[in-house]
Amino acid sequence: MSYLAWVDFDPADRKRAQEIISLFKSPEARDELGLAAVRDGLADLLFPATSTIQTRLRYMFFVPWIFQNAVEEKDSATAARNFEIELISALEKGKEKKGVIGIDAGRKLKRLPSSVYWAALDTLGIRLISGTPAAILANADTYSRPLWHPNLPPQPDGFLETTSFTLRRDEAAFIADRLASEAKDSLFFELSNNMVDLTDVEQAWHLPKKNISRENVALLEHAKRFSFVMHGAHILYNRMLAKRARKNENARVHFESGELLEQYSTQLKNWRDEIPDMKLDDWDLNDMFRQVRATSHKLREPTIEFIERWVGCVIQNKAKGRNAKELVRKRELQTKSTQKARLQSDAALERWSGASSVNQMGFRWNIAKQHLADLKNAE
């Protein structure tokens, strides 16, 4: 049996480790070409305290309230889990369906809301003591200071019987205060002060720039270009897999590889046609790397080299040639073992779904957009 552990010393490292463990099971966790440091670094700068596995903003209150109740019980760990399971039924009774964590799994739920929101509660200064949920519950009686922010709104009576995702006014005000205190430079905070309808804004860089700071406009430009440019690398990667699958005489799956090859060839052509619109010649990659380095994400030299070389291929209109393909091939080997590299291993190729990392990076915009809607619709 294998397991992952870390020493609970540095808050940033602990937060990062918790997010990594959660993302192992996330449907958006695939990072075929090792770009997560830049992707997640930009997302943290734009939308701190979010993650791809969050659903609704009111869990920022449900979790502290549940732990406040659990520490009063003799077996606090069991009580906390039971309360988190009870929350599922309470939300269903409140007519909530979309975004309810565990609505399908019920008592078999493994990823509890507390694990999903634990790091975010630390980021926003709502949770004041470091440690895992289990450690917090086990040592609750020994702490000399409060676990939760003193202005945390009180839990409503009977919220574990019937509740909803609708924020109360005092809850929305508390989140706004936390964003102002802990994330005042972020786009998340700026948008929280300008409660317009964001439903139809597909990507964050489509936002009107009028009320956005110059610094965040620059971050959005980095995000837009990075998302577009690396989307091309992933299309090429999938095209290379489809071509390899079609030629692989030992393949037992991917009988549709010829169709996939045609599909990705068309996508690659369409993507290449859009390159001039990105105006990549004046893209300051060093500035993007500098900003990512300011986050807790480790940006390594091989990653920087791959991004710089791939951007060079794109600018020179050579993102389909032999050098580009070799660059992608080598990058996969840098990020995976030979046995797991689909461009090298037949067994790994057999496990290819036919589409790996094909969606453009959104930098958690959909999560942030839902949270902002929750703030806007507080009652």
- Structure confidence by residue, pLDDT tens digits, 120-175: 999 999 999 999 999 999 998 899 899 999 999 999 999 999 999 999 999 999 99
User: What is the value of pTM for the model shown?
Assistant: 0.89
What is the per-residue pLDDT across 86-122, written as a single tens digit (0 to 9) for each? 999 999 999 999 999 999 999 999 999 999 999 999 9
pLDDT in tens, 30-41: 789 999 999 999
Exposure letters 24-44 (e unless 16+ CB within 10 A, then b): eeeeeebebbbbbbbbbbbbb
Residues 6+ apart with CB under 8 A from 340: 348
Question: What pLDDT is attached to residue 4?
Answer: 43
In contact, 50 and 40? CB cutoff 8 Å: no
Tracing tokens 């440019």 back to the chain, one arrives at 229
Q: pLDDT > 90: what percent of the chain?
A: 80
Determine the Cα–Cα distance for residues 249 and 269; give it in Å rounded to an integer: 28
Is 10 a residue whose pLDDT tops 80? no
Paired residues of 148 in beta bridges: 127
Looking at residue 16, its pLDDT comes to 44
CA-nearest of 87, 86, 73, 84 to 138 is: 73
SS3 of residue 196 by DSSP: coil
The reported pLDDT for the residue numbered 255 is 66
Q: Are the CB atoms for 99 and 55 separated by under 8 Å?
A: yes
Spatial separation of the C-alpha atoms in residues 5 and 196, rounded to whole Å: 43
- Over residues 42-89, the pLDDT tens digits come to 999 999 999 999 999 999 999 999 999 999 999 999 999 999 999 999
Q: What confidence tier does 250 reach under pLDDT thresholds 50, 70, 90?
A: low
CA gap 48, 184 in Å, rounded: 10
